[in-house]
Amino acid sequence: MSDPNERRHVANIDIVEFYTPAFGGRVPAQLFYESVSNTGVPGKQTAKVILNQAARMIWLGDRIQEVSLGRPALPLTFCIIAAEAVAKLADGLEEEGKSRAYVRHFFSDLCTAEQRAGIHLALQWANPRPPSSPDDMADYLYSMRCDVVHEGRYFEMTVPSDLCVGEVRMVVLEGAIQAARNVAARSGA
């Protein structure tokens, strides 16, 4: 008999299943994931790492949300960590730092204007209030992440619904897919 908690371990995430909603179905998720798996092509290996890392961080944020209802800054922090990691991996950055710049890069270059507008709309009633422009959401979310990580202020942000967190989560998954596609395409294989 298998351990019922085994599936709840970060090492046991079904990556294809995790990305199925963002791909709009299991088949496209599986086809893409298989196309970047076990190829031996460095760019495709990086694309797979992008998908895996984003899934791990967001999965952790999902687990945090289970025990921190009403504290959206905690799961959102993991979304922003995922966005930063994706942007750095996609860019091949090997040095430390430049976190805010890479979060900006993620939202401005790997996400569409419609996705930024969707996040802005989802968080329009958040407290503290988001900026008036969807293009400024990266700085808003990064500042919230810094409040949590550096100051321990996870309790100041409120949102009217967990659906707000879900919108940011989905955009980060979609941005990770775009980054993985870009990296795989650059590999030329």
Q: DSSP string of the chain?
A: ---TTGGGSGGG--HHHHHHHHHTSHHHHHHHHHHTSS---HHHHHHHHHHHHHHHHHHHHHHHHHH-TT-THHHHHHHHHHHHHHHHHHHT--SS--HHHHHHHIIIIIS-HHHHHHHHHHTTT-BSPPPSSGGGHHHHHHHHHHHHHHH---SS-B-S-HHHHHHHHHHHHHHHHHHHHHHHHHTT-
- The share of the chain scoring above pLDDT 90, in percent, equals 74
Model confidence pLDDT, tens digit, residues 76-103: 999 999 999 999 999 998 778 899 999 9
Nearest to 85 by CA among 72, 75, 99, 95: 99
Tell me, what's the pLDDT at 181?
Answer: 94
Tell me, what's the pLDDT at 1?
Answer: 42
Tell me, what's the pLDDT at 6?
Answer: 52
Q: Binning pLDDT at 50, 70 and 90, where does residue 3 land?
A: low
Q: What value does the mean pLDDT take over residues 103-113?
A: 95
Tell me, what's the pLDDT at 143?
Answer: 95
**60-64, 66-70, 168-172: which range is least confident on average?**
66-70
Tell me, what's the pLDDT at 189?
Answer: 53
Tell me, what's the pLDDT at 8?
Answer: 78
Mean pLDDT over the full length of the chain: 91
Q: What value does the mean pLDDT take over residues 144-154?
A: 93
Reported pTM: 0.91
How many angstroms separate the first and last alpha carbons of the chain? 42
